[in-house]
Structure 1
């Protein structure tokens, strides 16, 4: 289909997904047998869910006729209630089933949120480095992204955000633990953004896809403890990372019930309802996998520690560890070349696939030219040592 036939297509307003783009770098790749590829590009579990969860899905497929039919647009009541209860325990707050909705992935939760908040020409403040799909969706909706560069600790500044607010601003977006930088936003910082958004009548969208792998014990922030939280906060979550349900596409959103009613229009138009079998699996996970998930968290924390403790040889060669946590490490390289061509060379010359910082920053941003995201969720501590050995012995 010639692109020139559709010059006004919304998809042309944004870039190709970095994941899709980087996969093309692997076409025709022929690495030596002693240098297998280290794929550090995508933040997604490579293993299937635990057997018990898969059995629950299989049994539902065979014995629950409703699992093959349309369901409620905002998700099964049982799953919404279980998620609200889990969130209540996690955030030491009181949430009800009617405060949450189930979506077909967390990306769809974000898309539904923007559809319910924004019109053509509105603005959303997005810290950069950003999660690229957030920027892509804003582009395709005709919503202007207002980049908010993070500081030296890879943390956004509320005072800097305040200077970006105009009469067209509708929301501020935070991702914590952060994708791509890995950093965990302090509860006090999140609270300051909440207060800023509330003072200006904006929505604060907080994406906590990776909350199950946060290194902190106890509530990471106190936003849900405010009885009026839903007047400002819209909270996003994903079942994909916690329960390895990436292929089932299940996310969630917590928001004011009026917002959920508006999102329901979008969701009904796009997917009608979340996948029924995936919801069965997510419910089983919520009810049965607390101990298993705690062990998964500890394993990710061990990998984080391996990144932090093993970084010294790279630091000696001029690399910098800018952020680390959840599934990610974010690093700065010491070379006088742009990260994009360096990333392509690393695939062929060192067997390392990781994404350049330019995929997470505005076009022309000099910081992106010096940075890489390392997604270490599928690389064990031995693989992390191999990664550091290869990087320490490589130069363009």
Structure 2
């Protein structure tokens, strides 16, 4: 038998793919189709205007088919730097921006420059499972930080978890899977803690375009020395429906970009040229369209909150961006519940066990509902099916 890396063998299989396997052999009648709230990704293609711009680039721009700069196309790096400087009230230079194959690769690249086998990284619980998987595969210990009221992590509790092996704290806001929007003062407190302890603060803002609050979600970039502590991650996939084109961004100090470039060059050489062209075009031309997308997601969030409020025995712990983190009332663990909901209710969602350490009782009591692809009527149907389900 061929050798197998024990670190990769030790982590779990991709949760969304695992959930899809539960659909095998199950049929859903036309009058009661599957309600799929398992994956946090748009299912509609980009708007036609963006597709046309990308198609034109495909036909008319020779460089769209060639290797590009490892750290990304200059025009997209410049656009990110300018827009982020404006939005956050700080100073970000194009040289501090890298374009990656989605935000997942941005996270992997960041971690590869920060930590190695035996090191530790603090992840608030529930965690984003791909973050946990990458740490496992690198032999890096994920240290879970249970969140408190409103699914907000507590900086004092995080401080207790820091050891001489801690290399970073990771925050996702708006959060996947809980939907929580972290207050600016929370992010500032974690930034100050990380700076004092000499570790990195990684802030993943994949869902920043769907934050319900007006204005900048934090002031971390206002600090002229933000680069000595902060690493920021972002994805164009959700904002412009570019999931299949894999375009993300990483913002960090220029000195770290030297190391980031090494990683990106060896795993992909460069991010898709067509995807980058599309992202840059979207940033320049789709401001009003994106505002409409945000408004619709916020409408769905309200529908989810209102619907779940009337659902007997269920309790929403966090709701925002694409997600609701809900405590269920049933006397079976969430992994069993999720499988039964497929066959008996025609609902596919993810159990809390996929977002928590093995054996943690919080995982068994919660589920994640990704409602971005369910309109108000669909959310109403989901609530009805959850209400009538019996164990």
TM-score of the superposed pair, with normalisation by structure 1: 0.97
Alpha-carbon distance between aligned partners in 2 of 1:94 and 1:298, rounded to the nearest angstrom = 29
On the 8 A contact 1:357/1:368 being kept in 2, the answer is: yes
> Which of 354, 375, 388 is the matching residue for 1:393?
388
> Which of 274, 281, 300 is the matching residue for 2:271?
274
On the 8 A contact 1:313/1:392 being kept in 2, the answer is: no
> Which of 10, 24, 29 is the matching residue for 1:13?
10
Deviations 1:344-369 (A, max 9, x none): 00001100000000000000000000
> Which of 21, 25, 31 is the matching residue for 1:24?
21
> Which of 120, 123, 128 is the matching residue for 2:125?
128
Is 1:60 aligned with 2:20?
no
Report the Cα offset of residue 8 of structure 1: 3.4
Query: Which residue number corresponds to residue 32 of structure 2?
Result: 35
Listed as ranges, the matches of 1:374-389 within 5 Å are 374-389=369-384
On the 8 A contact 2:309/2:316 being kept in 1, the answer is: no
On the 8 A contact 2:116/2:140 being kept in 1, the answer is: yes
When structure 1 is superposed on structure 2, of 165-174 and 9-18 the one drifting more is: 9-18
Is 1:262 aligned with 2:259?
yes
Query: Which residue number corresponds to residue 353 of structure 1?
Result: 348
On the 8 A contact 1:35/1:350 being kept in 2, the answer is: no
Alpha-carbon distance between aligned partners in 1 of 2:281 and 2:2, rounded to the nearest angstrom = 48
Alpha-carbon distance between aligned partners in 1 of 2:76 and 2:6, rounded to the nearest angstrom = 37
Report the Cα offset of residue 309 of structure 1: 1.8
Query: Which residue number corresponds to residue 306 of structure 1?
Result: 303
Query: Which residue number corresponds to residue 144 of structure 2?
Result: 147
Query: Which residue number corresponds to residue 336 of structure 1?
Result: 331
Secondary structure of 2:33's match?
A: coil
TM-score of the superposed pair, with normalisation by structure 2: 0.99
Alpha-carbon distance between aligned partners in 1 of 2:313 and 2:6, rounded to the nearest angstrom = 44
Alpha-carbon distance between aligned partners in 1 of 2:338 and 2:307, rounded to the nearest angstrom = 21
Report the Cα offset of residue 94 of structure 1: 2.0
Deviations 1:46-86 (A, max 9, x none): 00001111111111111110010000000000000011111
Deviations 1:302-347 (A, max 9, x none): 0011111222321xx2110111000001100011110001100000
Deviations 1:142-197 (A, max 9, x none): 11111111113211111111011111100000000000000100000010000000
Query: Which residue number corresponds to residue 282 of structure 2?
Result: 285
Query: Which residue number corresponds to residue 318 of structure 2?
Result: 323
On the 8 A contact 1:191/1:223 being kept in 2, the answer is: yes
On the 8 A contact 2:235/2:248 being kept in 1, the answer is: yes
Deviations 1:127-153 (A, max 9, x none): 110000000000000111111111132
Is 1:77 aligned with 2:70?
no
Query: Which residue number corresponds to residue 245 of structure 2?
Result: 248
Q: Which runs of 4+ in 1 moved over 4 A?
A: none
Unaligned runs of 5+ in 2: none
Alpha-carbon distance between aligned partners in 1 of 2:309 and 2:111, rounded to the nearest angstrom = 42
> Which of 208, 212, 217 is the matching residue for 1:211?
208
Report the Cα offset of residue 7 of structure 1: 4.1
Is 1:366 aligned with 2:361?
yes
Secondary structure of 2:249's match?
A: strand
Is 1:169 aligned with 2:159?
no
Alpha-carbon distance between aligned partners in 2 of 1:132 and 1:139, rounded to the nearest angstrom = 11
Report the Cα offset of residue 261 of structure 1: 1.0
Alpha-carbon distance between aligned partners in 1 of 2:269 and 2:224, rounded to the nearest angstrom = 31
Alpha-carbon distance between aligned partners in 2 of 1:264 and 1:359, rounded to the nearest angstrom = 32
Report the Cα offset of residue 33 of structure 1: 2.4
